[in-house]
Chain A
Amino acid sequence: MSASEVFQGRIRSPFYERMAALDTTNTWHNWKGYTTPDELYCGETEYFAIRNATGVFDITPMTKYRIKGRDALHYINRLVTRDMEKIKPGRVAYAVWCDDQGQVLDDGTIFHLREGEYRLCSQERHFDWLMANAIGFDVTVTEETDAVAGLAVQGPTSYSVLKNMGIRGLDELKVFGLMHVEFEGAELMVSRTGFTGDLGYELWIEPGRAEALWDALFAAGKLHGIRAIGVHALEMARVEAGYLAAYREFLPAKATVRTGRTRSPLELGLEWLVDFSKPNFNGRRALAEEKRRGSTWRLVKLDIAGNKIAHSSYIFDDASASKKNIGFVTSAEWSPVCKQNVALGSVRMPHGAVGSTVWVEIYYQREMHWSRAMAKATVVDKPFWFPPRRSATPPGPY
């Protein structure tokens, strides 16, 4: 920034110029200090790029920390609920971390870059918490959000695009695997990760090489339907995949004031991420106690009748006059690819067991006037969108 410029308050990612060149709607918002597109031409079209071709999303604003040192593994193992001993170098783990009360602070991905060296990626900033966790451990924690440019390359043709770009080794790269390759003399990290529940990759590179990477990627993807996308499209894919979002499915515990507004991993369907065989991790005692006594909330995936979207709906146990309010919807949408009216929600135990029926109260507006409908919904187990190609190794060409 030159001295004569006035700082506008939002950081431009190294991909900004490339995205701005494609932008036709001029709808941008603030994502952790970065200016980020809602959509670049049409949210729905961009969504279909994810599901039918390749969507490219700038993930530079994702909070990133580098964690290394002699005790890095022990440190992370105490930080998160899952067993990190099993995550070898070259692997990535989805993880959730809690406060001492066992309430979720955030979820994110942890990349085991090299022996004893990790990158933690998350929605929220956690430097204070990570530093508090570092007391008594031989680790260094470095905030590197600005130092690493990231692109999510997601969709059925993403494998072909990257292969076309000349990246080798993709055939062996499994889901939640990562590898380092060379890109024009710089180190490019490729991980088979993403937020869309589909075949996809994330590319990580130093900011100076960001534009060159973008250009190479788009040149290679031209015949594979590659498109840059905004947050709207990603959000649609996220809900179909049944992934959680902070401030939607849970509130980071440090952001709450009222008691009972936080969620534990057990209440978010993440028990598979909680390894009680670890002798100690943040929240272990509280979670063990919760497991003994039973949880208060349960995260549900809902397949809702009809086509009216259940935005912020209350959830009831039945539709009779004596119906009981048992919870609420946290994310909802019409899923174009599943052709289903889907939602994620939070309901009180013991309601919401898989296969059970609940009712959602949907308010909808037609030409100014509001109407209300009670829609029957089934609690489902699996993500709404979970194609085999997501985990096929090697992925097939499309």
Chain B
Amino acid sequence: MTETYDAIVVGGGHNGLICSALLARAGKRVLLLEANGQVGGAAITREFADGFTVSACAHLLYQLQPSVRKELKLKPKLAADDMATIALAEDGNHLRIEGLAVDGVSDADASSYREFHKRMARFAKLLNTFLNRTPPRLGNKSFADLATLARLGFDVRRLGKHEMQEFLRLIGMNVHDEVSERFENPLLKGAISLDAVLGTHLGPRSPNTIMTYLYRLAGDFGRIAAPSGGMGSVSEELAHIARESGVTIRTGMPVKRIIVDNGRVTGVETSGGERFDSYTVVSNADPKRTLLDLVGAQHMEARFTHRVHHLRSRGNAAKLHLALDGLPEVAGLSERDLAARLVIAPDEHYVERAFNPAKYGQSSPEPVVELTFPSVRDDTLAPAGKHVMSAVVQYAPYDRKGGWTDTARAEFEAATLRVIERYMPGIVARITASELLTPRDIEEQFHITGGHWHHGELTLDQFFFVRPVCGAAQYRMPVDGLYLCGAGAHPGGGVSGAAGRNAARAILKREKAA
């Protein structure tokens, strides 16, 4: 006897949880199946060494959509809010960015940054309206699509003539050109460059890195927070909301295939052989895994599967976790400052140079690092007096030449520690345990093809109208009853929830129309 549901959500990442909760609230009987032992996908907290826990992948909260918070009454408990970013300098003359203000730069740079940030915030606000809507189909006579398109045009035009021109000029541009025109301080240029490329296979000179920068700002204008108890607490709260809404959540249930019969989905089968029936299957997995592995190319048309096959989704961001027997002493920083978000990107060229080897399948000998000491503001994460460090390290290309062998991993970890030690002398001596997650590990542990934050590179050719691919940008896949709700769908990744929310709305709207 198989169980029948109105909708089955494959994968319990934050988007899957959000989507399932919204569907359940609309009266659907929803089953959510998660492969791992705990829900949350890449937004979980876990122990990596005896007594030391950390946000396993995503570690900072800055994109969570206000619409998601509001609709689900989601109120993550925060250990820190409005966090400052400190760009580290070897000589201790660090630079501090807090909202509109930058400390440690010339007056010209400070006022330039204020102007830059205001404009970026304005554009991010505009972009955010795009992110919260289902992209319209082009070349289509549907009134809804034309109306959305008109609204987008109107929103862009409403910026005013000059700002509209600026928006259109900047959106496809690279961040390097913009920062080098605007600022003189190398640390500032480095820090902005880093923000633009985090989690992507892009360097500051790559096209559309202004767009990726705006994407970062879109949810909350760049306001950065750290959930208390790590990112897992957000997922746990979402899971609680989903359960309260009536969703059945089952963990440790990897879906082996999505069953298609005569052109429409009829359910899923788990690797344990259990079958669940539903005419609506919503996948939180990435597009490649969903379409090519779980559904199978034979159920779709060839040009479509060809496009999916060619989706660029090779991750480049590694995660390094350190268990420390004490905090490092850093010249120019107080212990309180260590609660901030710290970045190692001394200038914009450094970031590009770090990216260069990644183009050729090699990891950076001098990586860029975004690091935090979450235990400074949250004493639940490490034993008393001890600390954890959580860092995003780039670039560690997914398809590293020669593979991610133990030697390669050791080399990359050593290179990263060399860089960190340079800015925080003595930190290496304090390490009692460490964990490195390359994109390969992220792929394996979190079931994300290519281990990419966004399930698919965030570039203009894979964005908005054409995300993940042409012909599937409205959450509905070309197999009846199959939907995508994860980062691979519009708008993309980050703990934002936009994809999950938009997908739920698209599904409900579709059902109403049918």
A residues in contact (CB < 8 Å) with B? 71, 74, 78-79, 99-100, 129, 132-133, 135-137, 279-285
Instruction: State the interface size on chain B (CB cutoff 8 A).
Output: 19
Interface string of B281-315 (1 = CB under 8 A from A): 00000000000100011111111111001000000
Q: B301 contacts A137, CB within 8 Å?
A: no
- Quick one: which of A78, A279, A283 contacts B262, CB cutoff 8 A? A279
Q: Is B207 an interface residue (CB 8 A)?
A: no
Residue in B closest to A128 when the chains form the complex, CB atoms: B306
Residue in B closest to A277 when the chains form the complex, CB atoms: B262
| Residues of B with C-beta under 8 A to A129 | 302
Q: B298 contacts A100, CB within 8 Å?
A: no
Q: B297 contacts A137, CB within 8 Å?
A: yes
Q: Is B326 an interface residue (CB 8 A)?
A: no
19 contacts across the A-B interface (CB closer than 8 A):
A100-B301, A100-B302, A100-B303, A100-B304, A129-B302, A132-B305, A132-B306, A133-B302, A135-B292, A135-B309, A136-B292, A137-B297, A137-B298, A279-B260, A279-B262, A279-B299, A280-B299, A280-B301, A282-B303
Residue in B closest to A130 when the chains form the complex, CB atoms: B302
Q: B300 contacts A280, CB within 8 Å?
A: yes
Q: B301 contacts A136, CB within 8 Å?
A: no
Residue in B closest to A137 when the chains form the complex, CB atoms: B297
B189 to chain A, nearest CB (A): 42
Which positions 474-504 of chain B face chain A at CB distance < 8 Å? 478
Which 7 A-B pairs have CB atoms at the shortest separation, nearest pair first? A136-B297, A132-B306, A100-B303, A100-B301, A133-B302, A279-B262, A135-B309
Q: Is B403 an interface residue (CB 8 A)?
A: no
- How far apart sit A283 and B304, CA to CA, in the bound complex (Å)? 11
Interface string of B24-51 (1 = CB under 8 A from A): 0000000000000000000000000000
- How far apart sit A279 and B296, CA to CA, in the bound complex (Å)? 13
- How far apart sit A219 and B296, CA to CA, in the bound complex (Å)? 54
Q: Do A135 and B301 form a contact, CB below 8 Å, given A279-B263, A280-B263, A285-B478?
A: no
Interface string of B248-269 (1 = CB under 8 A from A): 0000000000001111000000
Q: A282 contacts B297, CB within 8 Å?
A: no
- Given A279-B260, A280-B300, A281-B301, output 10 extra A-B contacts at Cβ < 8 Å: A133-B306, A135-B305, A136-B298, A136-B309, A279-B261, A279-B299, A280-B298, A280-B299, A280-B301, A283-B301
Q: A74 contacts B298, CB within 8 Å?
A: yes
| Residues of A with C-beta under 8 A to B301 | 78, 100, 280-285
| Residues of B with C-beta under 8 A to A135 | 292, 297, 302, 305-306, 309
Residue in A closest to B291 when the chains form the complex, CB atoms: A136
| Residues of A with C-beta under 8 A to B302 | 78-79, 100, 129, 132-133, 135, 282
| Residues of A with C-beta under 8 A to B260 | 279
| Residues of A with C-beta under 8 A to B309 | 135-136
A85 to chain B, nearest CB (A): 14
- How far apart sit A100 and B303, CA to CA, in the bound complex (Å)? 6
Residue in A closest to B297 when the chains form the complex, CB atoms: A136
- How far apart sit A99 and B302, CA to CA, in the bound complex (Å)? 8
- Quick one: which of B261, B263, B298, B303 contacts A132, CB cutoff 8 A? B303
| Residues of A with C-beta under 8 A to B478 | 285
A3 to chain B, nearest CB (A): 39
A84 to chain B, nearest CB (A): 13
Q: Do A78 and B298 form a contact, CB below 8 Å, given A135-B309, A279-B263?
A: yes
